[in-house]
Amino acid sequence: MTERKPLIIVAVVSMLMTTILYAGGMFYISGFLPPPSPGLSQLEVVGFYQQNHTAIIAGLTMAFVGTGFMLPLCVIGSVFMAEVEEGFPYFSVMQALSALATVIFTALPNFIWMTAAFRVDRSPELITMLHDLGWIMWATPSWGFAFQLICVAVVGLKDKRPKPFISRWMSYLALWVAVGVAPTPLVPFFIEAGPFAWNGLFTFWVAFFSPIFWIALLFVVIANDIRAGQQETVTGSI
Amino acid sequence: MMSNVLTDKLFLVLTALLGITLLSWLLTSFVNFEKKSLGAMILLLAFFKVRLIAIHFMEMAKTQRLVRIAFEAWFFLVGGGMIWGYLIG
Amino acid sequence: MMSAMDIGAEKASGGEGITYRYPAELGVWLFVFADMCIFAMYFAVFVWEKNLNPAMFTEGQASLSTQLGGLNTVVLLISSYFAAKAVHSARLFNIEVYKRFIKLTMFCGLIFLCVKFVEYSDKFSAGFDIATNAFYRNYFAFTGFHMLHVIFGLSFLAWLLFSVKTVEQLKEKTQAIEGAGLYWHMVDLLWVVLFSLLYLVP
């Protein structure tokens, strides 16, 4: 069995990097999150890019660097999952590949928005188009992430060891998060703000924050496990 | 085997559920009530059905206390909130 | 009075007296509760938007077919009854009865999907779709999302039908069957509220 603690430390540190870089870049510096309404007029969109030109490029660059740091956690998850699976670790490989899709689709829109901010003096139609393209690409493809969670849950529920790699209720909660991110393919239907637009209640607030809630909970559970394990070894040595 | 007490109870619950469904449909089609009170009544019947399903089909009564409290809270908050929101609108 | 559930639990623990066992895993209850909370937000959004624009919602509701919606409610209630019976016979390790009830449950679920298909194609041919207005956006999104739940539920049931061939396998899977039953009841319960809210409440 792979030594768990160093891997978990790497995962925690890299997720911290993601949180700082992505949240800082998107929420604080560039102001892209929470998302603007899809109902903004052309003038407002162009104005947004013109006024915050440098901040947008700086924030988006920071954020896309941050997305890469999601990979260590996902790959380490696959390492633990592969210990459970018999034969070819199908679900672990699938989880890692879906993680790649998630990272790519989270990072790619940043380059499209950067293109929009790159030459702000180009025609307003083109800037609006790039803006829309970026948002649709960012908000719609959540199913790679749903696949990741389903793989984790399937292997987590198959794990019959006395100490499974994640507890069973976390697996069920992962399935719930997969349900929570499921409505995002509805995003391209709505050009007005509403619960299913790209800044909507279900397609942004639930779909974006339920995975974050799950990952935060995962770290709390892991930290508790490690603490309990240390106490066990301490009492064991006495 | 088929005349077990539990199976009979489940069948009674099913009959009650179907009866309430029919009743709420009849209410909308054939009875002239004031609009808001009719809507509130239908929602009330719906949440009564929901509780029947939860207690008898889901066996909510036999689970841990925390689960039971959480589900009852859901029923009363969501049901009450919906009827309240409907009535003030 | 000793209910059948206790008898099942006693058998499961190898006959060492009655050990009380909860129906389904705690994790399934957690999932069901969390999912119901998402649907609670759907209901809230619907009531909220109905209050904002009552005329549009009344007009939209008039175009829905209460008969088809009511038929689906009846079908789903009956399927829920069959699912409860399947769980009950699984606890008694009665594999023949169990399989029959699972098949009946799945049959009702498939009827639900067929009716849904008829209903949706009616709406599409009448020129309504998800982007028409707020009422149809909610109608298609909420019922569509609910239909997705039905499809997933049917696949769980199919798995539990085809992977259980012997009594030993049934004994192993009793808790999974209880979980699937619980999920199926949740799908039924949510449809009951959706039906009243979308089709009936004036």
Confidence of residue C10 (pLDDT cuts 50, 70, 90): very low
Q: Measured in Å, how far apart are chain B's first and last C-alpha atoms?
A: 52
Buried b (16+ CB within 10 A) or exposed e, A160-193: eeeebbbbbbbbbbbbbbbbbbbbbebbbebeeb
> Could you tell me which of A31, A26, A61, A49 has the C-alpha nearest to residue A128?
A49
pLDDT of amino acid A4: 77
Q: How far is CA A24 from the centre of its chain?
A: 15
- How do residues B31-56 score in pLDDT, each as one tens digit? 777 888 899 999 999 999 999 999 99
Cβ–Cβ contact A209 with C under 8 A: no
Structure-block tokens of residue A82: 């592969």
**What CA–CA distance (Å, rounded) separates C105 from C109?**
6
Q: What is the pLDDT of residue C15?
A: 41
Of C33, C74, C200, the CB nearest to B74: C33
Q: Rounded distance, CA C123 to CA C133, Å?
A: 13
Chains B and A touch, contact meaning at least 3 pairs of CB atoms under 8 angstroms apart: no
Q: Flag whether pLDDT at B73 surpasses 90.
A: yes
Q: How far is B69 from chain C (nearest CA, A)?
A: 11
Which pLDDT belongs to residue A163? 83
Task: Show residues of chain C in contact with B83, CB under 8 Å.
Answer: none
Q: Does residue C200 sit at the B interface (CB-CB below 8 Å)?
A: yes
**pLDDT at residue C8 in the model:** 40
Q: What is the CATH number of domain C24-200?
A: 1.20.120.80
Structural element, H or E, at residue C42: helix C26-52
Q: How many CB atoms lie within 10 A of CB A223?
A: 12
Local confidence band at A160 (pLDDT 50, 70, 90 cut-offs): confident
Q: What are phi and psi of A50, to 5 degrees?
A: -70, -40
Please give the span between the terminal C-alpha atoms of chain C, in angstroms, as a whole number: 45
Q: Residue B36 belongs to what H/E stretch?
A: helix B35-52
Determine the average pLDDT of the residues in A102-115: 94
The whole-angstrom separation of Cα A182 and Cα A142 is: 7
Which chain A residues touch C46 with a CB distance below 8 Å? none
- Judged on CB neighbours under 10 Å (0-12, 13-18, 19+), B47 is buried
Domain assignments of chain C as residue spans, ordered by start: 24-200
Q: A171: which 2 tokens?
A: 């697996």
Distance of CA B15 to the CA centre of its chain: 13
pLDDT at A231 over 80: no
Judging contacts by C-beta atoms under 8 Å, the chain C residues touching residue B86 are: 47, 50-51, 201
Q: Given a contact as 3+ CB pairs under 8 Å, which chains touch C?
A: A, B
Taking only Cα atoms into account, the Rg of chain A, rounded to an integer number of angstroms, comes to: 20
State whether C54 and B35 contact (CB < 8 Å): no
Residue B4 predicted with pLDDT over 90: no
Question: What DSSP state is assigned to residue B53?
Answer: I
Write out the residue range of the structural domain in which residue A146 sits.
4-237
At which residue do the structure tokens 């349900």 appear? A179
pLDDT band at A234 (very low <50, low <70, confident <90, very high): low
Confidence grade of residue B28 (pLDDT, cut at 50, 70, 90): confident
Instruction: Return d(Cα C91, Cα C44) in angstroms, integer.
Output: 38
Between CA C161 and CA C101 the distance in angstroms is 10
In sign, the C-alpha dihedral spanning C30, C32, C33, C39 is positive
Confidence band for C9, pLDDT divided at 50, 70 and 90: very low
Average pLDDT, chain A: 90
Number of domains in chain A: 1
C101: Cα separation from own chain's centroid? 15
Q: B82 vs C202: CB contact, 8 Å cut-off?
A: no
Q: Give the closest residue to A190 by CA, choosing from A57, A72, A39.
A: A39
pLDDT surpassing 80 at residue C198: yes
User: How large is the average pLDDT for residues C96-114?
Assistant: 95
Distance CA C176, CA C160 (A): 8
Q: Are B69 and B22 in contact (CB under 8 A)?
A: no
B-chain CB neighbours of C66 within 8 Å are: 25, 28-29
Tell me which chain C residue has its CA closest to the CA of residue B14: C81
- Secondary structure (3-state) at B25: helix
Here the tokens at position C46 are 């619907």
Given a contact cutoff of 8 angstroms between Cβ atoms, the answer to whether A139 and A35 are in contact is yes
pLDDT score of C12: 44
